[in-house]
């Protein structure tokens, strides 16, 4: 495919920056192969990739292709679907605004109504907007926490949730017949505005989103003078998080001004990812200056939240699992004290998230429901609960810093959680406790649950093959023991079968995914899966012991055993 398609691209009147790129690599056969051997993959996580020229890159032409597929899908659902239209938001990344407008103009060529944010806004606000406008679908232009060289395209259904496989496959079916992306019709924005097919949105939806955010506020006695530092990491969380904290009543909110500049180059960080300790360096500096008790950081599209807590003269970052456990316990404890904890309540988490959450939920008489990795599956369960009335949703989270409290959004929501974490920390502050003290109490009550994630990067076409080989090697040589501990359960999510230690099998009642999970006799576990949005193979580890020292020792041993046996480069 590569050279022929490259020549086709060269024949077209491309923007100058794309022409310059192609001319620079015209004699680099390997680079041409990498850029043109396939179209960027679209799936349940949407489409994400490096910015640049080529079919395997993010640019206006690959955006047009996926927008055309979405347009054909919406059109196949009839005139009412086209009239309800599509809500579109975007973050602060390079070309996010341009890609959003391009998407709207492709949809408009099919007479599909669009509602486009005038300014950058968070992914969870887009999810809310789809529901608020009763739109047929939603689109967010973002690559979440990826480096600055990336951008992406995520699609949401009418429930405000990211598409699950059925919806994604329907769009793919409409994308596949597109033979020439240069023939895709792109309508004129001015004409679309005149016809009412292109609509700018901002203030009204901001106000409605904030009104819903304020429903999270409890009437607990809390310390509103607790000092907070917040950084949006140059992203779209700035407006709703700062305004939300203010309206919650916090008087001492300090913003990292250098990182409040909404800049897709992310000039002050290498990775705009609140999971990375380095992303907190400027927040820590400001925290020390003002004597802050708590640091909050959101990623560029503000669906992930990172938290650091004052500890003596420094700060300690919480993991996604730790923060999730703290939030879950605080929410359930508060509801129990207020007499509003439902008997049919359920907590949702992914299969690679800590089992500490399960222990906490059980303590409060709450059901735990596990889903595949990806918040779309948590959102799917929320909708299922609403239809079947089987459970009342109380909280959902995943280890990768994603959480959802109230369901007016149907994706992980760092805006909601930033406000709730501040409230939770201020609540414990009145008891002269930090979140670290509260976490230690959970460990003492339920056991020391410790987890780790190791991600190995496999770039390009060869990388995809290496990741497949790792999983296939395990399937051909399933371990009977790991680190001297017997494997009592092997869950293969690709086949949908769990095999027990005695050879008996049972079905896994979840959608299929290329992932393996090994449960050991001592309740430790290991999971291995290729990422759905990044060129990485992820290795997850979880253990529980009665002391922190023992837990850390076992965790280190498991990591060494698994990773030393893999060809990871």
Positions marked catalytic: 144
Residue 285, Ramachandran bin (φ over 0: left; ψ between -120 and 50: alpha; else beta): alpha
Do 67 and 103 contact (CB within 8 A), yes or no?
Answer: yes
Could you tell me which residues come within 8 angstroms of residue 308 by beta carbon, excluding any fewer than 6 positions away? 280, 283, 284, 287, 294, 295, 297, 315, 316, 317, 318
- Please report the DSSP string for 125-189 in residue order: HHHHHHHHHT-SEEEEE--TTS-TTEEEEEEE-TTSSB--HHHHHHHHHHHTT---GGG-----H
* Per-residue DSSP letter, 437: H
What DSSP character marks residue 39?
P
CB–CB of 479/558 below 8 Å?
A: no
Tell me which residue has tokens 């790991």: 482
Gap between the Cα atoms of 223 and 294, Å rounded: 12
Q: What does DSSP assign to residue 502? A: T
Rg (CA), the chain: 24
- Could you tell me which residues are beta bridge partners of residue 490? 499, 518
Do residues 348 and 342 lie in contact, with contact meaning Cβ atoms separated by under 8 Å? no
Q: Beta strands of 458-546 (E only): which ranges?
A: 481-482, 485-492, 497-500, 505-507, 516-520, 525-530, 536-545
Residue pair 505/490 in contact (Cβ under 8 Å)? The answer is no
User: How far is it, in rounded angstroms, from Cα 354 to Cα 351?
Assistant: 8
Q: What angle do CA 280, 283, 285 make, to 5 degrees?
A: 110
């Amino acid at each position: 495919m590569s050279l022929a398609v490259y020549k086709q691209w060269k024949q077209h009147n491309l923007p100058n920056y794309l022409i310059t790129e192609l001319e620079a690599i015209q004699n680099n056969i390997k680079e041409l192969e990498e850029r043109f051997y396939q179209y960027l993959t679209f799936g349940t996580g949407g489409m994400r990739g490096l910015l640049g020229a080529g079919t395997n890159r993010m640019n206006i032409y690959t955006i047009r292709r996926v927008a055309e597929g979405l347009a054909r899908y919406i059109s196949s659902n009839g005139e009412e679907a086209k009239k309800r239209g599509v809500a579109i938001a975007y973050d602060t990344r390079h070309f996010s605004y341009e890609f959003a407008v391009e998407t709207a103009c492709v949809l408009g060529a099919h007479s599909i109504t669009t509602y486009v944010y005038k300014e950058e806004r968070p992914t969870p606000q887009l999810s809310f907007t789809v529901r608020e406008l009763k739109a047929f679908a939603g689109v967010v232009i973002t690559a979440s926490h990826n480096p600055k060289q990336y951008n992406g395209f995520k699609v949401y259904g009418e429930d405000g949730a990211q598409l699950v496989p059925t919806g994604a496959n329907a769009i793919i079916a409409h994308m596949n017949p597109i033979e020439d992306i240069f023939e895709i019709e792109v309508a004129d924005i001015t004409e679309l505005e005149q016809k009412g097919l292109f609509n700018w949105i901002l203030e009204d939806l901001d106000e409605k989103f904030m009104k819903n955010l304020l429903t999270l506020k409890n009437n607990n006695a809390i310390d509103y003078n607790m000092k907070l530092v917040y950084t949006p990491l140059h992203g779209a969380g700035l407006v709703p998080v700062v305004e939300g904290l203010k309206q919650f009543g916090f008087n001492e909110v300090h913003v990292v001004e250098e990182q409040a500049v909404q800049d897709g180059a992310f000039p002050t960080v290498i990775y705009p990812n609140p999971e990375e300790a380095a992303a907190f360096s400027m927040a820590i500096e400001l925290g020390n200056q003002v004597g802050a008790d708590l640091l909050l950081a959101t990623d560029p599209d503000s669906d992930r939240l990172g938290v650091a807590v004052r500890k003596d003269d420094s700060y300690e970052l919480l993991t996604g699992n730790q923060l999730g456990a703290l939030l879950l316990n605080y929410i359930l404890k508060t509801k129990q004290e207020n007499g509003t904890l439902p008997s049919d309540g359920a907590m949702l988490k992914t299969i690679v998230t800590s089992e500490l959450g399960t222990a906490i939920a059980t303590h409060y008489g709450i059901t735990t429901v596990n889903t595949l990795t990806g918040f779309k599956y948590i959102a799917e369960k929320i909708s299922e609960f609403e239809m079947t009335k089987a459970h009342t949703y109380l909280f959902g989270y995943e280890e990768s810093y994603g959480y959802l409290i109230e369901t007016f959004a149907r994706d992980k929501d760092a805006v909601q959680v930033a406000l709730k974490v501040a409230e939770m920390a201020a609540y414990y502050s009145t008891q002269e406790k930090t979140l670290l003290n509260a976490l230690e109490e959970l460990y003492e009550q339920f056991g020391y649950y410790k987890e780790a994630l190791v991600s190995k990067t496999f770039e390009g076409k060869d990388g995809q093959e290496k990741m497949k080989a790792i999983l296939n090697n395990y399937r051909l040589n399933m371990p009977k023991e790991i680190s001297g501990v017997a494997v009592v359960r092997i869950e293969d999510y690709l086949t949908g079968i769990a095999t027990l230690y005695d050879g008996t099998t049972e079905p896994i009642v979840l959608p299929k995914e290329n992932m393996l999970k090994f449960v050991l006799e001592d309740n430790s576990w290991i999971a291995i899966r290729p990422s759905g949005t990044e060129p990485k193979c992820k290795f997850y580890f979880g253990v529980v012991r009665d002391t922190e020292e023992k837990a850390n020792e076992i965790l280190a041993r498991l990591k060494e055993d698994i990773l030393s046996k893999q060809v990871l480069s």
